[in-house]
Structure 1
């Protein structure tokens, strides 16, 4: 996970199919071992469109015992924008320096959905109690089959790997409650 710091845009990260399959299987085990409704505590950086809206609405999300931060410079969904994700970590701190809750939509639309989701899964495996991923509507086979992730998997690897991701995505939690006060989920 460490070598991603300082990466340059435009290059695909080379992982073998077996390495990617291993990320999916191990993270799936972790997702299944944790509740479908996460109960989390601040401090926490919340990343996704709803996280940004909440940050604006609550003025930085005060009112909890510890600070919550909406992620910038990329407050919206990640959607395969790998270098936006890296910039987000450069700005907010790479795990485990900061705790993160992502609200979904990691794949589709962008050019590097595979790099994006693999990095997120690797951080989930390395820091399972400090790094959290919720399921968005693009972590659903019927959506990412149409909007690009299926085609990226097929072009760079094979359909079987896409099915492995689908099995992993089906185990993602769907919501989180932070400090017993703030409900978080994907909006799509």
Structure 2
């Protein structure tokens, strides 16, 4: 997750290497809750166009239209690009429709935004999903296998369970182990949750959660992290602290259910 923290995204490139020398795979949630979703999404999409084989962008739970209207992205577009903000938001979310749901690295690493689905046992089943179906990507108001990939969470309890978020499922280490074994994989990398050190192993080190939005929402105090893979697919982690959020006056501050959004910074060009 990057969640509109544009300066932290630039810091990732500074720490881990710029494209095209370094290849990147992002796990979704580029917008909402941060201070600069527009430039974050735009930069990543531009890099994808310029270096299509070096940048991979997966779809996250916040790239859908209904979610991005609630948690800040739509409002940011209308402020920054008035009076054409709604059009900008539409064009960007139209692009998000075509982001892939999963990726496989070197036939061993399964990458997904959130988790697994009881309806999907094989990679072949995932490949058959129609990724542009908005109704399947809308979180708590809808069910379905696409929704599960974008909202499910690993859990200490075995088997499938009800996800407290109201969308997707919880799944135990037995589910992770079975899915990986059945598909000839060894590890699952996912995002979707805040972890204080930027990354967290679970399920007997068969699943790792990665969060690349340090000091999430400007008050959580967590580190961010990037997982780096060498030619042997051995993983190391680059941890980093947050770049200070841009300052703004109280009059320019926009309040929302998910925290403060620096409106004055968003309007700068």
Shorter-chain TM band: 0.5 to 0.7
Q: Does 1:85 align with 2:12?
A: no
Of Structure 1 and Structure 2, which has the larger fraction of its residues in strand?
Answer: 2
Q: Offset of 1:97 from its aligned partner?
A: 1.4
Q: Does 1:168 align with 2:92?
A: no
Aligned-partner Cα distance in 1 for 2:94–2:44 = 16
TM-score (norm 2): 0.41
SS, match of residue 34 in structure 2: coil
Match of 2:36 among 85, 93, 112: 112
TM-score (norm 1): 0.58
Please tell me whether Structure 1 or Structure 2 has the larger radius of gyration of its CA atoms: 2
Match of 1:138 among 58, 62, 66: 62
Match of 1:181 among 108, 113, 127: 108
SS, match of residue 129 in structure 1: coil
SS, match of residue 120 in structure 1: helix
Listed one character per residue, the Cα deviations across residues 46-78 of structure 1 (whole Å, up to 9, x for unaligned) are xxxxxxxxxxxxxxxxxxxxxxxxxxxxxxx10
Listed one character per residue, the Cα deviations across residues 70-114 of structure 1 (whole Å, up to 9, x for unaligned) are xxxxxxx10000000000000000111100000000000111001
Unaligned runs of 5+ in 2: 115-150, 152-269
Q: Does 1:103 align with 2:103?
A: no
Which structure 1 residue ranges, 4+ long, deviate > 6 Å from structure 2?
none
Task: Report how many aligned residue pairs link the two structures.
Answer: 112
Q: Offset of 1:116 from its aligned partner?
A: 0.5
Aligned-partner Cα distance in 2 for 1:93–1:102 = 14
Partner of 2:173 in structure 1? Answer: none
Matches within 5 A, 1:21-60: none
What's the Cα RMSD here?
A: 0.7
Q: Offset of 1:182 from its aligned partner?
A: 1.1
Aligned-partner Cα distance in 2 for 1:159–1:133 = 23
Of Structure 1 and Structure 2, which has the larger fraction of its residues in helix?
Answer: 1
